[in-house]
Amino acid sequence: MKNKKLVGTVAALSIGASLLAGCSTGGSKDDGKTHIEFFSTKVENSNTYKELIKDFEKKNPKISVDLTSPPDAGTVIKTRLTKNDLPDIIASGDDTTFTNLADSGELRDLSDKGFKDNIQPAFIDMVKKDYKKSSALYGIPYATNGNGVIYNKDKFEKLGIKETPKTWDEFIADLDKAKAAGEIPIYFTLKDAWTGMVALNSVAAPVGADQFAKDKTDGKTTFKKSYSEVADKLLTLEKYGHKDNLGVAYGDGNTAFAQGKGVFYLQGNWAIPEILKANPDAKLGVFPFPATNDVKQNKLVSGIDVLFSETKATKHQKEADKFIEFLASQDSAQTYTKEQKSFSAVNGVTQDDPTLAGYKDSFANGNIAGYADHFFPASLNAPNIVQDFFIKKNKDAFLTKMDKEWDKVANRK
């Protein structure tokens, strides 16, 4: 789901991506195969893709799939767009990178593809809501996620916490219990600005992402009016962190949590494979973030973590179609879902990992809320504003800045 802000210049990244791409939109190399470039905006799932690609190439020996998965992929793909150097297939989240590409007219309509029928209709509809040309289908939903709380089961047992909290007050009570026992209640990784959005999206779920965005655009509300309690709760949570909340990055945080530092970790299910890489024996669980004291209002924040698009630039539509069809098959999607600890948009694919049992009821009952920031203007730069809020802890300045930057974007249209 996430858009990492990693160190490196755009120029260096775009050059690296171009080198990795080879013949990004075209043709056969000296090996006599047709090469298609598969560009992924997530680095965590690269090993899973590599194994799926090996399987695909065995079954299709005349096609070679070249995986490109650079850091800061959103910036790289924007740079490549300006240079007319787009890959054949793009795997991204249902985020601003995707919607900007869809609105640019550079993606192919996949509405008539048979592999679309492998996907649950609710997720197809979710994708179509997110860009202006809603009659077309510019992305095939694949993996879905849960943005909530990961917890250490051994710490729960040590602290005598019998069940996961269902309300805000219960959560605060558990945080107080952890703090009193000398534990780090929440392990934060706010050095990477995007990780602050995990907390914001969770706390803001009851506000209603799409309705707030509509009302804000129509001048019916402001961040000052609707996000005052959200800001207060973010500051409350930050107090339960460690001594260096803003000095630890996401990768280091995964390792630290794997090593037993922290009882709770505000992250999506995408972090679980990374934590288990650092410590395969870590005993983890998950639960939806309890943003209020009304259990009925507390929903699991979820969205499409991966979808597949084809660019109009591809000269190998047939091969690109074949690869997406392969990925969207039940067998391939089940492999991805199991390895990446995700949930699937593909019909018939289940997630049976006990680590994720805490999210099952939410998905089964449709007790889901959208990501607040997916409805923010692309150029709002909310992660940096939220990060600054955690640094300065000035609620009024934070909400004023969010309103001002939103309005500035709106006035440019």
Q: What are phi and psi of 65, to 5 degrees?
A: -105, 120
Q: Evaluate if residue 7 carries a pLDDT over 80.
A: no
Question: pLDDT for 273-282, tens place per residue?
Answer: 999 999 999 9
CATH code for the part of the protein at 10-145+303-345? 3.40.190.10
Question: pLDDT for 335-345, tens place per residue?
Answer: 999 999 999 99
Instruction: Supply the pLDDT for residue 410.
Output: 80
pLDDT band at 95 (very low <50, low <70, confident <90, very high): confident
Instruction: Supply the pLDDT for residue 75.
Output: 87
Q: Which residue has better confidence, 250 or 379?
A: 250
Find how far residue 188's CA is from the centre of its chain. Answer: 17
d(CA 129, CA 268): 23
> Quick check: do 10-145+303-345 and 147-301+372-412 share a fold?
yes
d(CA 47, CA 340): 10
Question: pLDDT for 187-209, tens place per residue?
Answer: 999 999 999 999 999 999 999 98
212 Cβ contact partners less than 8 Å away, ≥ 6 residues apart: 221, 226, 372, 375
Instruction: Supply the pLDDT for residue 352.
Output: 92
Identify the DSSP state of 219: T
Residues 222, 242 contacting (CB under 8 angstroms): no
DSSP string over 51-86: HHHHHHHHH-TTEEEEEE--TTHHHHHHHHHHTT--
Q: Evaluate if residue 295 carries a pLDDT over 50.
A: yes
Task: Kindly indicate whether the domain formed by 147-301+372-412 is annotated with CATH number 3.40.190.10.
Answer: yes
Q: Where are the domains of the chain?
A: 10-145+303-345, 147-301+372-412
